[in-house]
């Protein structure tokens, strides 16, 4: 049997939250793949479902949330069929995650060293002395000066960039196959952000791991990712390798995101914001959720949602009527502002 080139495959995943106001499909029929040793970027505005997708992979969805259907195939096995005991052994060991806010993710009453060493004790069965030695080595690996001293300090004694390096050290302690990085540079200044991203690239090459990079920053995607999935209202609207996506974006939402960025390679008098706002998650739509904001929306866009279609190039998928045989050109209606 030929070994798969993908470390993770997600097929038709749906994660919903059941509230008094109704069902919210936070992740709606999502399918994607993460290639071994490569980085997949998942990009979109706040509320698009990026973080819920990452938590679904680790099965960290709790009531009123529920993984309703689909498959999460990790190294050939469906994680949704596994017992919780299996998942506890997997989390932080084979699949790790860097969360958005290091100050809220780190326990304020335990030292940095104690928190990283816990991974070695739980997953590798090391004694306290050996776990601490490995912890110091890991702090040194992520570029923290005086690691022996830092291991004895508490989170509040470290800067934001230093805490983020600690989070990376904790996530990489057991050499995972897959690292999920959820907005890993949020609230860091540009210089520290560049250092953190460069560190992650170096460690990826050294440890031969795959990365899912969750972000709203297309600059980070361009710098770090091999493939990109663009999400909007819980669905993937465009999926391509990073070079194709930036050179030939197809979905109007992707084009809008790129046009709203400052560019240094072209004359740009002013930025072009995407008009309107993300619809309420409780709002039921028969058609495309982006239609009210789309400059090309036709009547059919409001009536039926198109499938995610592979384009003739074979390198790009897009969920838009304009790239199907059923597109009714010349019937555009004005989107809502």
Percent of the chain past pLDDT 90, that is, above it, reads 61
Residues 151 and 237 in one domain: no
Residues 200 and 112 both lie in one domain: no
Query: Which residue segment(s) compose the domain that 159 sits in?
Result: 102-173
- Look up residue 225 and give its two tokens: 């990712």
Task: Work out how many domains the chain is built from and give that number.
Answer: 2
pLDDT at 1 (0 to 100): 42
pLDDT in tens, 165-207: 898 888 888 889 999 999 888 767 888 888 888 888 888 998 8
Domain boundary, last residue among 173, 192, 216: 173
Instruction: Give tens-digit pLDDT for 29-51.
Output: 999 999 999 999 999 988 899 99
Model confidence over 54-84: pLDDT tens digits? Answer: 999 999 999 999 999 999 999 899 999 999 9
CA–CA separation, 284 vs 289, rounded Å?
A: 9
pLDDT at 337: 39
- pLDDT at position 326 over 80: yes
Statement to judge: residues 211 and 117 lie in one domain: no
When pLDDT is averaged across residues 298-314 and rounded to a whole number, the result is 91
Are 228 and 286 in a shared domain? yes
**Residues found in the chain:** 337
pLDDT of residue 300: 92
Compute the mean pLDDT over every residue in the chain, rounded to the nearest whole number: 89
Mean pLDDT across 231-246: 96
Q: Are residues 225 and 265 in the same domain?
A: yes
Are 97 and 180 in contact by the 8 Å Cβ rule? The answer is yes
Same domain, residue pair 125 and 248:
no
318/236 same-domain check: yes
Q: Please state which of the ranges 140-149, 217-226, 256-265 shows the lowest mean pLDDT.
A: 256-265
> Span 305-311, mean pLDDT?
93
pLDDT band, very low/low/confident/very high, at 141 (cuts 50, 70, 90) = confident
Question: Of 173, 191, 208, which one is at a domain's C-terminal end?
Answer: 173
Q: Are residues 81 and 197 in the same domain?
A: yes
The residues pairing with 42 across neighbouring beta strands, listed in sequence order, are 214, 229
Does residue 1 fall inside a structural domain? no
Residues 247 and 284 in one domain: yes
- Say whether pLDDT at 321 is over 50: yes
**pLDDT over 70 percentage in the chain:** 93
Cα→Cα distances 307→86, 95, 207, 294, 320, Å: 35, 30, 37, 17, 8
61-65, 85-89, 139-143, 232-236: segment of lowest average pLDDT = 139-143
Helix (H, G, I), strand (E, B) or coil at 109: coil
Maximal CA-CA distance, the chain: 72
**What's the pLDDT score for residue 294?**
94
Strand partners of residue 275:
none
Note whether 215 and 166 are same-domain residues: no
Instruction: Please say whether the beta carbons of 279 and 269 come within 8 A.
Output: no
Residue 331 lies in a domain: no
- In this prediction, residue 199 carries a pLDDT of 85
Would you say residue 85 lies in a domain?
Answer: yes
Contacts 24+ apart (CB under 8 A), 299-308: 299/328, 299/331, 299/333, 300/326, 300/327, 300/328, 300/331, 302/333, 308/31, 308/236, 308/237, 308/239
Looking at residue 273, which CATH number applies to its domain? Answer: 3.40.50.300
For residue 318, what is the enclosing H or E element?
A: strand 316-318
Distinct helix (H) and strand (E) counts, the chain: 12, 12
Task: Look at the alpha carbons of 131, 137, 142, 145 in this order and tell me if their dihedral is positive or negative.
Answer: positive
pLDDT tier at 330, thresholds 50, 70, 90: low
Whose CA is closest to 274, among 260, 287, 290? 260
């Amino acid at each position: 049997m030929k070994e798969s080139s993908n470390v993770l495959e997600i097929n038709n995943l749906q994660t919903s939250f059941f509230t008094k106001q109704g069902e919210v499909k936070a992740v709606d029929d999502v399918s994607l793949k993460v290639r071994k040793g490569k980085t997949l970027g998942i990009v979109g505005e706040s509320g698009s479902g990026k973080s819920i997708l990452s938590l679904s992979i680790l099965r960290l969805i709790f009531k009123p949330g529920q993984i309703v259907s689909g498959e999460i195939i990790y190294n050939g096995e469906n994680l949704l069929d596994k017992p919780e005991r299996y998942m506890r052994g997997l989390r932080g060991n084979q699949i790790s995650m860097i969360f958005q806010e290091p100050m809220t993710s780190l326990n304020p009453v335990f030292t940095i060293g104690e928190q990283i060493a816990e991974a070695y004790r739980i997953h590798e069965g090391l004694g306290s002395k050996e776990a601490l030695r490995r912890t110091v080595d890991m702090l040194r690996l992520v570029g923290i000066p005086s690691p022996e001293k830092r291991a004895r300090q508490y989170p509040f004694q470290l800067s934001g960039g230093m805490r983020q390096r600690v989070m990376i050290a904790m996530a990489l302690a057991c050499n995972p196959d897959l690292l999920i990085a959820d907005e890993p540079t949020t609230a860091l200044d540009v210089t520290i952000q560049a250092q953190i991203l460069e560190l992650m690239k170096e460690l990826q090459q050294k440890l031969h791991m795959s990365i899912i990079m969750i972000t709203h920053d297309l600059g980070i995607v361009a710098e770090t990712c091999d493939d990109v999935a663009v999400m909007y209202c819980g669905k993937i609207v465009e999926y391509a390798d990073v070079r194709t996506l930036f050179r030939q974006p197809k979905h109007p939402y992707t084009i809008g995101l790129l046009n709203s960025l400052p560019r240094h390679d072209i004359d740009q008098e002013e930025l072009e914001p995407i008009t309107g706002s993300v619809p309420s998650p409780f709002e039921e739509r028969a058609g495309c959720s982006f239609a009210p904001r789309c400059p090309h929306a036709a009547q059919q866009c409001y009536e039926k949602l198109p499938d995610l279609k592979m384009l003739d190039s074979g390198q790009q998928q897009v969920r838009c009527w304009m790239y199907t045989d059923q597109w009714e050109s010349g019937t555009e209606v004005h989107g809502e502002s």
